[in-house]
Structure 1
Amino acid sequence: MSRAATVGVDIGTSSSKGVLVTTDGDVLATATREHAVDRPKPGFVEMDARIWWDEFAGICRELLSAPAADGVAVVAVGVSGMGPCALITDDAGEPLRPAILYGIDTRSTAQIERLTEEFGGADAIRERCGSALSTQAVGPKLAWLAENEPEVAARRRRLFMPSSWLGFRLTGEYYLDHHSASQCTPLHDASAQDWIPEWAHDVAPWVDLPPLLWPGEVAGRVTVDAAASTGLPAGVPVIAGTIDAWSEALSVGAQNDGDLMLMYGTTMFLVNTVPEPVTSSALWGTVGALPGTHNLAGGMATSGAITAWLRELFGSPGYPELIALAERSPAGAGGLLMLPYFAGERTPIADPDARGVIVGLTVSHTRGDLYRAALEATAFGVRHNIEVMEAAGGRIDRIVAVGGGAQGTLWTQIVSDVTGRPQAIPSLVVGASLGAAFLAAAAVGPADIDRWNPVVDVRSPRAEAAELYDELYALYRGLYVRTAETAHALADLQRRSASLVLAG
């Protein structure tokens, strides 16, 4: 007798990951494809969407050919992906240019300023949409396209994110999930949970806005052509997915009031579930991934991206070697302090021209010190976000860690030490692909995430580290203020230097 299973695939910033999971939560197989984003200019971060489909199809074929897949019947498919992104296609769903990625792409600062003024100011936009305009929002990116690439706007016509475009490729259905739409500020009304036609017309009249579905709703079924490309059975239901961080939260059961999902990845993401809509000038108020839920969210522009950068600078040693070196570095990294703003910063400072800073370097410092300083910098950023989150009205009763960086103990321990808060560590930190598979299972039958992914450990803060990290955190908060003017001048110089290189 065959075992029923679901496939979940997530398209992330640095890799695509997939899982094959039985409907009672046994992970049968996993698959990964690494990739890189394109950075054609300072502040520009893009990706060719065709890579998403190629990797998705390859992952599906690998999962279904795994020995553990023998005798398995796939009953549903789930997809999630990085976001909010802006992928513009023609009517047939063919991409007209590379997708513009989420808040790490900072090209639309001029459009943010203009649209904020046109729509009555940041407070008016936040009241209606849940968030003010920032580099995270899709609307200014669409306005940038209209102003800078009118040939794309002329061909228009459809707006996708990674999860919805893959869903379209699988089913032929055009849609977007409610949560992703809530990050398309200023096109979406958070209270009405629908598009704002008049604002959408002002920003991007050339885009046909997609119908909205809740994550987990069945969007369509795998077509014969898609089945031939992926190995998935034709006719199997495909659920509407969502943005990866929200799928990650679902994968660890962090969707109850007072839960905070802390995602350790290329970027660091925080999603706090709140009983009523909460807005903040420094954070993002969004519709939740499940009907009737609301979130207050934050995101750092870099976290794991910094450790990857250091690894490359150090000659690409293995991460286990670098972690071992960092473990030998004392708390405080031997007197090093880093600002993790290597791609600007999203929350809570919303400064696309912020830049990375390393202070305290001497010839005595080691690779381990630098690597530990990077981990501590991201922990200080998490603490800053949590403090702003609670000041805005969020309530944090439980923190659950997820993502690749949560697999070891050092990074999560540093974050608990810096924040003074315990973190629940679930059995599986696979992340968003597991959340997508879970949503798919829940769409076709009962599924219990606590059974799929129980908590197996708790990372508790160490009292002996509190005083030192409190002192360093105060220095961290002051360092940005003291260096911001210089960082902004250097960011401008970087843009001008890039222009000269391109012109040459």
Structure 2
Amino acid sequence: MSDVVLGVDIGTSSSKGVLVDPAGKVLASETREHHVDRPHPGWVEMDGGIWWEEFAAISRALVHDGDNVTAVGVSGMGPCVLLTDDGGEPLRPAILYGVDTRATAEIAELTRRFGGDEAILDRCGSALSTQAVGPKLAWVDGHEPDAMAKARRLFMPSSWLVYRLTGSYVLDHHSASQCTPLYDTDARQWYEPWAGDIAPHLDLPPLVWPTDIAGNVTAEAADETGLPEGIPVIAGTIDAWSEAVSVDAQNPGDLMLMYGTTMFLVHTVEQRVSTANLWGTNGAFEGTRSLAGGMATSGGITGWLKELFGSADYPELLLEAGQSGPGAQGLLMLPYFAGERTPIADPDARGVVAGLTLSHGRGDIYRAALEATALGVRHNIESMEAAGGSIERIVAVGGGTQGDLWTQIVSDITGREQLVPSKTIGASYGAAYLAGRAADASCAADAPTGSSVPYAASGPGVDIATWNPPSHTVTPNPGLRQDYDELYDLYRQLYPNTQAVQHTLARRQHRLSNATDTRSTA
């Protein structure tokens, strides 16, 4: 029998799993696509039961006789809010991470109640925003009090999978550090005064590190998934941090740039860096710190455009976007189609396409979308460095790295090189790597629950740089720098110059949605 590890990630648009051997070779992979629910503008939800159903289906598809699965790694989108009763039964759909912007009133109220942005930033590493868990809990309490009254446990996709696999109710420290304002990032523990104020009846989970063994596969879970009973399951973490691990971008000075449904940036810093327009968090490994940013959408816009354009497929659209050329024939887009997270933290921002004429085609619009995300990446990078970050190396990962156009546009607009690794599978591969460390001789499969895998673990197959060496480097074209600098200046002007109109339209959208909801329930 051959030793393998299983890594599974629950993402925004799909769940992905990989079966990996001790040398890092992907032996098999499996994907299950899904959709999130958007019942109102600003709401983004998902049935948490789908996470387990898709994990079980992926596991059964990947694991066969002859595979000696030595450990399981998990990760998932986050921070999310899945509330259950004390028996682990979900009480409502999970509220997703910062793309769900419903809790704007709660953000303002909790910020006032707890002493303002600076007080929260000092204790939690991040100010309150749509990314934070606390305001979402307060929203449920205010709008669905019956559900909150029954709520006893808080899960995210990775911790939900751990619970269903092992029965252990835990959360990793990185995920907890995005539960602002419930968690103290310096003390590395729940901050009871604020947690008790927001959700007094919630039994917050014990805290572990992503590399800790959270428990072992139960007999019931083994029957549902086809996994062997008793194998260890690591705690895992939020997908972007698992993705950073997957491409060896978790060292000080590294920036992981994740091309996905949303664009996400994780910069590993030497010591804590805090600023109100980005997220300061614990890293994936004990003792590490991150400064992170995330756009509300990126690949989501390209997918939306593909649907609007009907029969066009991605290769065709990329070809036409390439033919459009730098500057998209005079178009400029703001990519705020789902509000925006960092660095403007404006849930009522809206998408703008400026410069349209009757001569523009779909390739020009698609090119403008790719450039818009690159302009947003530059804005985030500049914000990170202004806050005290020091970016020395950028590593690109995710589905958007397939093909050369999008990554080249990002390098051209930011003026930064990007290293593209051999494998850009993403978070599921990072989860498999962390599981592989748990199965290494330094942390045998029979290690007790809660034992930690040291970051410097050694042995065959535990070096991620060996698992996933560099493939190539994307280098910016210096001949485009002046034109793109001018476009970036226009980009930075376009948002403040249209903000009032965007907000007025957002209010109209909310009113229309509420009116429709009232009619549908009359």
Q: Give me the whole-angstrom Cα distance separating, in 1, the residues matched to 2:12 and 2:108.
A: 27
Q: List aligned pairs for 1:238-387, cutoff 5 A.
A: 238-387=233-382
| Equivalent position of 1:49 in the other structure | 48
Corresponding residue of 1:9: 8
Amino acid aligned to 1:50? G
* Structure 2 partner of 1:178: 173
Work out which of the residue numbers 145, 149, 162 in structure 2 matches 1:150: 145
What is the alpha-carbon distance in structure 1 between the residues aligned to residue 419 and residue 253 of structure 2? 14
Residues 61-113 of structure 1, C-alpha deviation per residue, up to 9 Å, x if partnerless?
A: 11124xxxx63210000110000000000112111100000000001111111
Q: Distance in 1 between matches of 2:4 and 2:322?
A: 40
Q: Deviations over 1:427-467 (max 9, x none)?
A: 00000000000000011214110111001100000011111
Counterpart of 1:500 in structure 2 is 515
Equivalents in 2 of 1:406, 1:114: separation in Å? 40
3-state DSSP of counterpart to 1:312: helix
Extract structure 1 runs of 4+ deviating beyond 3 A: none
- Note the C-alpha offset of 1:378: 0.1
CA distance in 2 between counterparts of 1:324 and 1:229 reads: 44
Secondary structure of the 1:334 match is helix
Residue 154 of structure 1: how far off its partner (Å): 1.5
Matches within 5 A, 1:25-44: 25-44=24-43
CA–CA separation in structure 2 for the residues paired with 1:337 and 1:253:
34
- The 2-side partners of 1:451 and 1:407 are apart by 21
Aligned residue pairs: how many?
A: 499
Work out whether 1:449 is the aligned partner of 2:464: yes
Change (3 A) 1:281 1:414: same
Match of 1:231 among 226, 229, 251: 226
The percent of aligned pairs where both chains have the same amino acid is 67
1:490 matches 2:490: no
Write the deviation string for residues 225-273 of structure 1: whole angstroms up to 9, x where unpaired. Answer: 1111111111110000100000000000101110000000000000000
Paired amino acid for 2:200: P
Distance 1:150 1:422 in 2: 50
> What amino acid sits opposite 2:234 in the alignment?
I
| Aligned counterparts, 1:124-135, within 5 A | 124-135=119-130
Q: SS of 2:329's equivalent?
A: coil
CA–CA distance in structure 2, aligned partners of residues 238 and 398 of structure 1 = 32
Equivalent of residue 117 in structure 1, options 109, 112, 115: 112
Q: Distance in 1 between matches of 2:331 and 2:300?
A: 19
In the TM superposition, residue 325 of structure 1 has moved relative to its aligned partner by 1.2
Partner of 1:458: 473
The one of 426, 432, 439 equivalent to 2:427 is 432
Amino acid at match of 1:311: K
Partner of 2:22: 23
Of residues 63, 67, 70 in structure 2, which corresponds to 1:75?
70
2:490 is matched with 475
Counterpart of 1:221, as a letter, is N
Per-residue deviation at 1:318?
1.7
The whole-number CA distance in structure 1 between the counterparts of 2:188 and 2:360 is 52
RMSD over equivalenced CA pairs, Å? 0.7
Deviations 1:137-184 (A, max 9, x none): 000000111111011111111000000001100000000000000000
Partner residue in 2 for 1:215: 210
TM-score, normalisation: structure 1: 0.98
CA distance in structure 2 between the partners assigned to 1:52 and 1:153 by the alignment: 22
Whole-angstrom CA distance in 2 between matches of 1:170 and 1:500: 43
SS of structure 2 residue aligned to 1:76: strand
Give SS of 2:63's match. helix
Alignment pair present for 1:167 and 2:162: yes
Uncovered stretches (5+) of structure 1, i.e. residues with no partner: none
Query: Are 1:423 and 2:422 counterparts?
Result: no
Q: Cα deviation per residue 1:301-328 (whole Å; 9 max; x = unaligned)? A: 0000000000000005221111111111
Corresponding residue SS for 2:328? coil
Structure-2 residue corresponding to 1:409: 404
In structure 2, runs of 5+ residues without a counterpart are: 441-458
Distance 2:166 2:343 in 1: 38
| Counterpart secondary structure, 1:256 | coil
Which amino acid counterpart does residue 43 of structure 1 have in structure 2? G
TM-score under structure 2 normalisation?
A: 0.95
* Letter aligned with residue 29 of structure 1: A
Q: Aligned partners of 1:141, 1:61: CA distance in 2, in Å?
A: 34
How far apart, in 1, do the equivalents of 2:272 and 2:125 lie? 8
Q: Structure 1: which amino acid aligns with 2:16?
A: K
Between the aligned partners of 1:339 and 1:477, the Cα distance in structure 2 is 9
